[in-house]
Amino acid sequence: MSQEEEEERQRNLNELPDDSPLVQAAVAELRRRAKREDIQPWSIALSDASLVRFLRARDFQHDLAWKLLKNYNKCRTEYPEANADLRPYSVLSLLHTGYHAVLKERDPSGSRVIIYRVARWDPKVFSAIEVFRVSLITSELIVREVETQRNGVKVIFDLQGWKFAHALQISPAMAKRIAAVLSDSFPLKVRGIHLINEPLFFHPVFALIKPFMSEKMKNRIHMHGDDYTQSLQECFPASILPEEYGGKTVSMEQLSQEWTDFIMESASYLLSISLLA
């Protein structure tokens, strides 16, 4: 099979519904591999809904999906500080600051778009682990969406307000974990990372994270600076962006509140995937 034929096969599989015989066969094979390897403890249920995420995240390339599944399990079990308690109450105060939001509309490629605002993270009040946990909670919720499994996610980091106190919380170990989740430890296709309002002294932190990233991920990072309106809208139409970023939708405050409400409504599910004893 040629590379073009293989790519076409992968695209076709990605577009099939979960109950398609071809998708079901791929899921069954991944489950058999997981059980055969008998790696314990598994931190996720080997259900169809769970396993298909890993296959879609790697375009139904079985070896890559298997590697991703193992990395996800390893990341969760070896980093309980962030993963053990995914209940929204564990980060409710941070959620109420308006630190992040998920846009109502997807971008033209079908990707989900998330905005994080560093200015709302007070490093004297909230640890980097809590901030990381908020990202994990949101990721665990949007990865349940089939369209997001197929088309991935893009992230906008507004770094206005970045201080040395923030940088001090990003240790080499933390940098490695962030890069792992972005590159090969979570079943989401990260289609783009967009930085705006980045100060000069953010670059040393970025330099700490960058070596742990794949080349593909490095190529998907875009720095827009503080005069970002035009360049950002070349990547995201104004019709989906909030008012604060030159967009034509509602404010970040409203988007943040609505996403926080959705997280709270998902408390039972988040408890079910937490690693609490």
CA 231 to chain centre: 23
Cβ–Cβ under 8 Å, residues 156 and 196: yes
Q: What is the mean pLDDT of residues 26-38?
A: 88
Instruction: Report how far residue 9's alpha carbon sits from residue 218's, in angstroms, rounded to the nearest whole number.
Output: 27
**8 A C-beta contact, residue 227 and residue 219:** no
194 and 95 inside one domain: yes
Half-sphere exposure of 103 (CA within 13 A, CB side): 29
* Domain stops at, among 78, 110, 142: 78
Specify whether 58 is located in the same domain as 194.
Answer: no
Cβ atoms of 114 and 263 within 8 Å: the answer is: no
Residues 105, 230 share a domain: yes
CATH number at residue 193: 3.40.525.10
**7 pLDDT band (50/70/90 cuts)?**
low
The average pLDDT across 134-157 equals 96
State yes or no: pLDDT of 155 exceeds 50.
yes
| Sheet with strand 153-158: strands edge to edge | 100-102, 112-117, 153-158, 190-196, 221-225
Q: Which of 30, 59, 78 is the last residue of a domain?
A: 78
Whether residue 97 sits in one domain with residue 20: no
101 and 183 both lie in a single domain: yes
246 plus 232 within the same structural domain = yes
**Do residues 182 and 254 share a domain?**
yes
Is residue 151 included in any domain, yes or no?
yes
Q: Determine, yes or no, domain membership for 225.
A: yes
Same domain, 92 and 138: yes
d(CA 159, CA 97): 15
The pairs formed by 117-123 with CB atoms below 8 angstroms and a separation of 24 or more are: 117/158, 117/160, 117/161, 117/252, 118/157, 118/158, 118/159, 118/160, 118/161, 118/162, 118/166, 119/158, 119/160, 119/161, 120/161, 121/94, 121/97, 121/166, 122/97, 123/163, 123/165, 123/166, 123/168, 123/169
What is the reported pLDDT for 41? 47
pLDDT value of position 4: 67
CA separation for the pair 273, 39 (Å, rounded): 18
Indicate whether 56 and 98 sit together in one domain: no
Q: Summarize pLDDT for 173-224 with one digit per residue, the tens.
A: 888 888 877 788 899 999 999 999 998 878 888 888 888 888 888 899 999 9
Q: Is the same domain home to 152 and 72?
A: no
61, part of any domain? yes
Q: Name the pTM for this structure.
A: 0.92
Name the residue range of residue 177's domain.
84-272
7 with 66, same domain: the answer is yes
Dist CA 78 CA 229 (whole Å): 40
The two three-digit tokens of residue 43, written as one number: 């931190």
**151 backbone dihedrals φ, ψ, rounded to 5°:** -110, -5
Residue 31 sits in a domain whose CATH number is 1.10.8.20
Is the pLDDT assigned to residue 258 strictly greater than 80? Answer: yes
Q: Of 55, 78, 101, which closes a domain?
A: 78
Mean pLDDT of 12-26: 90
Let me know whether 72 and 111 are in one domain.
no
Condensed to tens digits (0 to 9), the pLDDT of residues 47-95 reads: 899 999 999 999 999 999 999 999 998 888 888 888 889 999 999 999 9
Q: Percentage of residues in the chain with pLDDT exceeding 90?
A: 67
Q: CA 130, 136, 138, 141 torsion: positive or negative?
A: negative
pLDDT (average), residues 152-158: 97
Question: Which residues sit opposite 157 in a β-bridge?
Answer: 116, 195
Does residue 46 sit within a domain? yes
Number of domains in the chain: 2
In a domain, 277, yes or no: no
Tens digits of residue pLDDT in 230-247: 999 999 999 999 999 999
